[in-house]
């Protein structure tokens, strides 16, 4: 079976739901508590490539830090990636990674389908 990894925030209800789905599916996933083990810029770029999305699409735009850093006016993708590396709370969650592919587990119903594919 392919390795499964989840970028997880235990304080997030959707992230906890994702963990339950992994448990129900009997998936032995590597759990990355990304707020404690902050991903670097290269790891974020890798996730963006797997997700096939732009940096802003990975960001939690309602977070206070997003507003404090005035990121809505930033056009430079590299600057957005740097902001996520410095402030991982900006990263949308949960992210499930399997076999060189990834999804953002919102809505959580997507996770089971992704794991079965």
User: Residue 39, Cα to own-chain centre: how many angstroms?
Assistant: 10
Rg over alpha carbons for the chain, rounded to the nearest Å, is 14
Catalytic sites, residue numbers:
12
Beta-carbon count within 10 A of 13 CB: 9
Structure tokens at 66: 């997003």
Pairing of strands 95-98, 4-7: antiparallel
What is the value of pTM for the model shown? Answer: 0.92
Hey, what domains does the chain have and what are their CATH numbers? 1-34+93-117 (no CATH), 40-92 (3.40.30.10)
> Residue 101: pLDDT above 90?
yes
Q: What integer best gives the mean pLDDT of the chain?
A: 95
pLDDT at 1: 59
Alpha-carbon dihedral 64, 96, 35, 78, rounded to 10 degrees: -60
Q: What is the DSSP letter of 59?
A: B
User: pLDDT tens, 9-60?
Assistant: 999 999 999 999 999 999 999 999 999 999 999 999 999 999 999 999 999 9
């Amino acid at each position: 079976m392919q390795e499964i990894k989840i970028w997880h925030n235990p304080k997030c209800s959707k992230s906890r739901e994702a963990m339950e789905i992994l448990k129900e599916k009997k998936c032995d996933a590597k759990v990355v508590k990304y707020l404690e083990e902050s991903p670097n810029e290269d790891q974020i770029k890798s996730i963006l490539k797997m997700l096939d999305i732009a940096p802003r699409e990975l960001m939690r735009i309602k977070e206070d830090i997003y507003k404090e850093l005035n990121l809505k006016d930033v056009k430079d993708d590299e600057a957005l990636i740097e902001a996520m590396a410095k402030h991982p709370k900006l990263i949308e969650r949960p992210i499930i990674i399997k076999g060189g592919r990834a999804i953002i587990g919102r809505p959580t119903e997507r996770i089971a389908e992704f794991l079965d594919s």
